[in-house]
Chains A and B, each alone.
Chain A
Amino acid sequence: MLIKDGIRMDGRKPDELRPIKIEAGVLYRADGSCYLEWGGNKIMAAVYGPREALPRHIQDPTKAIVNARYNMASFSVEERKRPGPDRRSTEISKVTSEALESVIFTELFPRTTIDVCIEVLDAEAGTRCAGITAAAVALADAGIPMRDLPVACAAGKIDGTIVLDLSSEEDKEGEADLPVAIAPRNEEILLLQMDGHLTYKEFEEALELAIKGCKEVVKLQRKALLNKYKTFEVE
């Protein structure tokens, strides 16, 4: 039983997000960075570039290459994960790169790469959405020109009910998971994946809920970026 009288096991309502905390500009070496906590997820994202793409033969003379790398720390999961990429993280890196690239004005920086590093330090369901959300803040912090500030959030289905932002248990026991990334201004879909079982009608409901979630998260992203410039020591 994952939901009872409209209340989920962790006390949330169906359309409620887990607690989210975002901080921009946390790393010294990176050109842009973000630390994000989302439920039990802890993510560090860094952006380097645009910088010359090397070796030279990978350069695109017309635009920048967006190269996101999603990586899970070995201690971020219950059973220790062997360091290095596996098939899952390789796929997530690919769809994340593509989602981010579609909002970046890549044509301004031919022959370069924009490297986006997403390190999952503590994992508890929804790491890819948390990773994209953190990466977007790091990109803005790095001064990368973009059409919009991308954001991601998942919806899903538990005990026949469509809910927002699945927890770890809901992800394991639930019937469907639908991670979505959007450019919030025009509600363009940048990433969409789904596994499980949804009727067409349920899908419509879940997508609407995921977009609603995204729009809440983007407020927190914006706040984090503005916060960086709000405080300075006055002597």
Chain B
Amino acid sequence: MIRKIVLPGTEVGDAKSKLPGKGVFKEGDKIYASRLGILSEKGKYINVIPLSGVYDPNVGDNVIGVIQEVFKNAWIVDINAPYPAFLNLENVPWRVDYGETSKYLKVGDVIIATIAAIDEAKNIDISMKCKACRKIEDGIIIEIQPSKVPRVIGKSGSMLATLKKYTQCWIFVGQNGRIWIKGEDEKVNLLIKAIRKIEKEAHTFGLTQRIIKMLGG
């Protein structure tokens, strides 16, 4: 079974009775899809949930970042978005003096951070002052298409709960498509296979049941 897939320029609704949501645009009396995705109507809003595309950061997202550059008062962090993010030394959970930044986070270090602010030119500030925020020291990080993150998490976290239950692994899903996994090698391999399957079949119905079956439930 497949959900209704639309393409850029596909007419998806009447602007007289519906409102344009995400992934769509209004032209004249009509609403059209602006990208490849699944058609979804929520109340008066027509949305297209993308099936591909880069990570578009939103304030409040928790992301997994990799330190790219270290300055005396800040770090530049790759957050898998079109833009690197800026982590000021005041936004970390440690007391860091000016010029001491590299003692705490070096190039290549991996962190969980939260998007603190985005301006119009898409300059991004991140912060490590959140509950989940930390430096990641072990386990592995896999990358999936950011557009598939909601499917890996599932409705109110249902898919994620399923994955945790059947693999006994520690899983943290960054909104930017990076996933942190810890567990026994065998289980981790199985989990990665399950996540790849979710990524590939994100547009289909009955996915949770197939995943449970795959994980031996």
Contact = CB atoms under 8 A, between A and B. Distances in A.
A40 interface: no
A111 B83 contact: yes
Given A105-B34, A146-B34, A235-B210, A49 B51 contact: no
A230 B34 CA distance: 20
A143 B36 contact: yes
A148 to B, nearest CB: 4
B177 to A, nearest CB: 12
B84 interface: yes
B147 A229 contact: no
Contacts of A110: 120-122
Contacts, number: 88
B83 A144 contact: no
B2 A229 contact: yes
B54 to A, nearest CB: 6
A232 B121 CA distance: 39
A197 interface: no
B142 interface: no
B60 interface: no
Interface in B102-147: 120-122, 147
A230 B204 CA distance: 9
Contacts of A222: 7
Interface residues of A, number: 34
B36 A225 contact: yes
Interface residues of B, number: 32
Contacts of B204: 232
Residue from the set A31, A110, A111, A145 with the largest chain B CB neighbour count within 10 Å: A145
A105 B201 CA distance: 28
Residue from the set B7, B25, B203, B204 with the largest chain A CB neighbour count within 10 Å: B7
B9 A183 contact: yes
Contacts of A109: 82, 122
A230 B5 CA distance: 10
Contacts of A185: 9, 32
A148 B82 contact: no
Contact of A61 (B2, B84, B121): B121
B8 A49 contact: no
Given A52-B82, A52-B83, A110-B121, A146 B9 contact: yes
Interface of B: 2, 5, 7-9, 23, 25, 27, 32, 34-37, 50-54, 82-84, 120-122, 147, 200-201, 203-204, 210, 213-214
Given A148-B9, A229-B203, 11 more contacts: A50-B54, A52-B82, A110-B120, A111-B82, A111-B83, A142-B53, A143-B36, A147-B32, A148-B32, A222-B7, A226-B7
